Amino acid sequence: MPSWFTPLAALCALMFATAPILIAQAPYESTMGLVQKIFYVHLPSAWMFLLAAITCGIASLRYLFRGDPRQDRLAWAAAELAVLFGVLTLVTGPLWARKAWGVWWQWDVRLTSSLMGWMVAVAYLLLRRYGGPGSDKLAAGLALFGIVNVPFVYISVNYWRTIHPTTNVVPTLPTSFGVPLWFSAVTFLLLFVLLLRMRVRLEEQRARVDALYLSMDS
Amino acid sequence: MKLLSLVLVVLVTCGAGGVVLLAQQPPPQQLDEFVPIDQLPPQDQLPAAPLLVAAYSFVALALFAYVVSVARRLASVQRELERLEADMKRGSGT
């Protein structure tokens, strides 16, 4: 692991320990009350989900055009993180919605497009796991659908009728809400970077094992 | 008689249309901003708490499980790599 990994992991752990204190001190929101505090993990999870889909898409595009195996490993690692953070988003969202909207799920454009993005990431992993030879290129093509979906997920709430909060919420947040949100977002971003590095390292080591087996056979 | 029937049909149709229009609910209000309040209303405290606890517990458990999963896979591959390198060294030494 690189030299920056351990200090960054320590900082991330410290921030994860501090975040609940800031979130507990944040005020209650007037219409949603206590349940709005799910926002501080739901939104950073959703951002990391979209970031993972973007990373996977860009790395896949570079892999398709340049054939660099490092980009392929990065795309695979990012796809796994897209599934992880997608699950966090899709579980915490309904827990919030149950109280705020009175229902667990709405087939509205934001929720549906997020679910589609998550299913693309799951399909990517399944393809890599069970697709056999050539699945790397096929999965890279699939990842392009994932990245194309990202702007649609983000702006959809501003163009379609939905009860999901719009993208105007974050820029207009009072400081009392904004500080815990951005603190939580930076914490999740650090975690994302650390997990991505760990997951890429895993693929690097697997590639070395494969290379050793090949050299033993020849 | 025909005229009376026609008028009746028109009245019933318009009436039904009016009822449908009145029955339509206004679209739900989208949130554009969060407004803080000092105190949480008492009726909000208990029902929201289990959902909040469930959300934070799930996030913590899922992240922990994933970190453990990646660490275990990494350790397993590392062991295999070391074993292979040792085998190759033995092979080249003999």
**Distance of residue A148 Cα from the nearest chain B Cα, in angstroms:** 25
| A138 contacts A130 by C-beta, under 8 angstroms | no
Task: Give residue B16's pLDDT.
Answer: 57
Task: Give residue A144's pLDDT.
Answer: 96
| A162 contacts A110 by C-beta, under 8 angstroms | yes
pLDDT digits 0-9 by tens, A67-122: 999 999 999 999 999 999 999 999 999 999 988 888 899 998 999 999 999 999 99
Report chain A's mean pLDDT, rounded to a whole number.
93
Q: Tell me if B51 and A30 make a contact (CB, 8 A cut-off).
A: no
Q: Give SS3 for B71.
A: helix
| Residue A5 touches chain B, beta carbons under 8 Å | no
Domains of chain A are 37-163 (1.20.120)
**Which member of B48, B51, B73 has the closest CB to residue A202?**
B73
Asked if pLDDT for residue B64 goes beyond 80, the answer is yes
**Which member of A87, A169, A195 has the closest CB to residue B31?**
A169
Concatenate the DSSP letters of all residues of B18-59 into one string: HHHHHHPPPPPPPP----EESS--HHHHHHHHHHHHHHHHHH
**Distance of residue A105 Cα from the nearest chain B Cα, in angstroms:** 14
Which tokens belong to B35?
A: 């407004």
Taking the C-alpha atoms of A43, A46, A51 and A57 in order, what is their torsion angle to the nearest 10 degrees?
Answer: -160
* Sequence-ordered alpha helix ranges (H) in chain A: 5-25, 39-66, 69-100, 109-130, 135-159, 175-217
Asked if pLDDT for residue A162 goes beyond 80, the answer is yes
Of the candidate ranges A95-109, A171-185, B13-27, the one whose mean pLDDT is the lowest: B13-27
Confidence of residue B36 (pLDDT cuts 50, 70, 90): confident
Report chain B's mean pLDDT, rounded to a whole number.
77
Task: Give residue A99's pLDDT.
Answer: 87
Task: Give residue A48's pLDDT.
Answer: 97
Contacts of A173 in chain B (CB under 8 A): 33-34
Nearest to A90 by CA among A48, A141, A139, A30: A48
Which tokens belong to A181?
A: 């949100």
Candidates A16, A184, A209: best to mutate against B (most CBs of B within 10 A) is A209
Asked if pLDDT for residue B17 goes beyond 60, the answer is no
Confidence of residue B13 (pLDDT cuts 50, 70, 90): low
- The amino acid that residue A162 corresponds to is T
> Is the C-alpha dihedral spanning B7, B9, B14, B15 positive or negative?
positive
Between residues A1 and A139, the one the model is more confident about = A139
Candidates A99, A167, A189, A215: best to mutate against B (most CBs of B within 10 A) is A99
Task: Give residue A37's pLDDT.
Answer: 93
Task: Give residue A160's pLDDT.
Answer: 86
pLDDT digits 0-9 by tens, A22-60: 999 999 988 888 889 999 999 999 999 999 999 999 999
Task: For chain A, positions 7-46, list CB contacts with chain B under 8 A.
Answer: 20, 27-31, 33-38, 41-42, 45
* Distance (Å, whole) CA A208 – CA B31: 51
Residue A7: Cβ-neighbour burial (10 angstroms; 0-12, 13-18, 19+): exposed
Task: Give residue A32's pLDDT.
Answer: 85
**Distance of residue B9 Cα from the nearest chain A Cα, in angstroms:** 35
Task: Give residue A143's pLDDT.
Answer: 96
**Distance of residue B19 Cα from the nearest chain A Cα, in angstroms:** 24
* Distance (Å, whole) CA A203 – CA A68: 14
User: Taking residues B57-78, what's their average pLDDT?
Assistant: 95
Task: Give residue B93's pLDDT.
Answer: 63
Q: Tell me if B40 and A33 make a contact (CB, 8 A cut-off).
A: yes
User: Taking residues A163-180, what's their average pLDDT?
Assistant: 89
Confidence of residue A10 (pLDDT cuts 50, 70, 90): very high
Nearest to A147 by CA among A54, A17, A49, A10: A54
